[in-house]
Structure 1
Amino acid sequence: MRRKIPSLGALAAFEAAARHQSFTTAADELAVTQSAVCRQIATLEDFVGVKLFRRTRRGVVLTDAGINYSRRVRDRLDDVERDTLEVMARGGPGGSLELGVVPTFATQWLLPRLPDFHRQHPGITLHFAPRTRPFLFDDSTLHAAIYAGPAGWPGTESHFLMQEAMVAVASPALVPGQLKAQDLAGHTLLQASTRPHAWRQWFAAQGVVAPNDMAGPRMELFSMLAKAAVHGLGVALIPRLLIEDDLAAGRLRQVVPFEWISDRSYYLIYPQAPVQRQALQVFSQWLQAQAAPYRAAAAAGG
């Protein structure tokens, strides 16, 4: 049965014209004439039987139908482009995996370990997109996500990777010796805007009440907090697994000998009925192996 699908040329012309709200600019982008774009759009409108643009004195404007259709067409063309690039890049067995990741976790923990994955599985390409909150896989092109939270979310399956141990750290130049939790009252506490109560929970776990526990500069990412602490701007509360290199190199030091296990853990999440992708199974097994030492250390108490 013949599919009721417009020509790819017509869809590409429509997507470009919709994005730019201009036939002329779309023609420049596609390296064709403006009249060619007009013909493609007219052909598409005849095909679907709906006006997608309104012509005005100032140019063209999408109709309501055109707005909705352009969004869907853009997503489909993105999918086609991504699949085409994968075939061009691989030209053989292997595959690719689209992963949502917590940015700092990906930068500080995952990426340094990826050379090992690529040595073992050179035919698999990993693509990353930032994701910090639950989302619907059906509304994205992602196959899986590495998520930091209490657990998975509805419609997904989750594999536990590791707990999150939070430690108070600072530059050795700022805090040269060991302190007690109550001693931090005289220091600037760097705050994670995504974890506004983290310091309060850390103090409470030690039976300490600190009046300034929510005061201090706020920053969005743990990588920002780590850099600020390295430069002596204050004391930061950061998951140990994200600053292992800074601790080993002496750029940061743990200033209070206490680790607080937060209410967040790291999980690999994917839809309950995922597309059977060998790349996902391979990556999941490798990731579990990389996280195993952290689970073992937590089970041993440190």
Structure 2
Amino acid sequence: MRIFLAGASGALGRRVVPALLGQGHEVVGLTRNPASAGTIEALGAAAVLGDVYDAAGLADAVAAARPDVVMHQLTDLGAGDRAANAKVRVVGTRNLVDAAKAAGVRRIVAQSISWAYEPGAGPATEDTPLDLHGAPDRVATVGGIQSLETAVAELPEWVVLRYGTLYGPGTWYEPGALMAEAARAGNLPANADVSSFVHVDDAASAAVAALDWSPGAVNVCDDEPAAGHEWVPVFCAAVGAPEPARSDAERTGWARGADNTLARKELGWVPSRTSWRDGFTRA
């Protein structure tokens, strides 16, 4: 198949490109940065310059690529700006979906998150409603996710990948990156909040597998949702940070982790790193 990949030069996109090529697909990677075009081409894909906020230009780029599938791996988190990331999810997704529809593309695979679910007792499944009634900053994030997923579902064949927290090269969770520095500064407490993780290589493998999945949302995370009491000390050790302070505060209601049963048992996707326990140390 011929894939138009928006976000091809990002931390995840740089893994998705070779994974797609390795399965015999053709890839056209979108970037707005001329310097990143060389990165995409070095991976073996064709690069096209464009901006997802330029609706007309994006439509022209998608039409010229003549893709069978559009893949959405766009984020804007390089500076830790969640408002910018929400804008990509709302405006960028809208423009990308419209461009796909105008080009006659039927299938889209899009990146979402698995920590947008409403509060509850255990790991959330895909049937759990999104959390649109929390604090304003959380509602802004989850509202962006809802907008993304609603727009993507306008295409006949859509798959939303609700990724766990990404770790590995190019993410906030590699040595020297944002969360590692927070850990070194003593600003990453080991608390009761539960997280689900997924390594970027496993996230990329799910994106490739999703080319054949039935429409719907899928949690893409490892097999072990865990409280910060468990994972934070392991992460701190892996990045050379001191032992974290322990917090005995109650778990935040929505910080419940996600259940990967659908992906693993029904769709046959199996992460190579089944737990962050060994994944952090060989990221």
TM-score when normalising by structure 2: 0.27
Higher radius of gyration, 1 or 2 = 1
More strand by share: 1
